[in-house]
Amino acid sequence: MRLPHLDQRIHLPWGEAGQLAQAIEWVLCRQLEPPARPTLALVLSFGPLYRVRGRLLARHWVEQHHVGERPRRPWRLSLRYEEVAALLLIWEQAPAAGGAWGEIQRVSLNLTRYVDFDKR
């Protein structure tokens, strides 16, 4: 279901896209290895995580092949509500993403009225 009024935007400084993409990839690879048994919530979040990872890798490629001065404004990443929820499911398993998790947690506060992020 598409709910555009719940979409969120986060600001990623230069280099954060690659770190976040690697953190997502690390969690997904670890969850798909044979001894691991991912939870149902994590299995349902694989699709949104792959979408976010693809956009982050594209941005990382642009940053790596950029010529000239760096832009002054940070890059704005648009996240759908299910992508924010999927990222919040894995943030404890992948702390290597650095400052990007703080931005994701900040925008998740805008969604607490609509989405229950409690992991009980």
Given a cut of 70, whether residue 52 has pLDDT beyond it is: yes
Q: Count up the domains in the chain and report the number.
A: 1
CB 79 within 8 A of CB 52: yes
Tens-place pLDDT, residues 41-50: 888 889 999 9
Task: Concatenate the DSSP letters of all residues of the chain into one string.
Answer: ---GGG-EEEEE-TTHHHHHHHHHHHHHHHHHSTT----HHHHHTHHHHHHHHHHHHHHHHHHHT--SSPPSSPEEEEE-HHHHHHHHHHTTT-GGGTTHHHHHHHHHGGGTTT------
Task: Establish if 119 belongs to a structural domain.
Answer: no
User: 39: domain range?
Assistant: 10-111
Is 118 part of any domain?
A: no
State the pLDDT at residue 92. 78
pLDDT of residue 115: 67
- Asked if residue 91 belongs to a domain, the reply is yes
Average pLDDT over residues 50-70: 92
- Segment 14-47, tens digit of pLDDT: 888 888 999 899 888 888 888 878 888 888 889 9
Answer whether residue 50 is part of any domain: yes
Averaged pLDDT for residues 6-21:
86
24 located within any domain = yes
Q: Are 82 and 48 in contact (CB under 8 A)?
A: yes
Buried b (16+ CB within 10 A) or exposed e, 30-67: ebeeeeeeeeeebeebeebbeebbebbbebbeebeeee
> CA-to-CA distance for 117 and 54, rounded, in angstroms?
24
Query: Does the global pTM surpass 0.95?
Result: no
**Residue 4 counted as domain residue:** no
Mean pLDDT of 94-104: 73
Residue listed under structure tokens 């976010």: 52
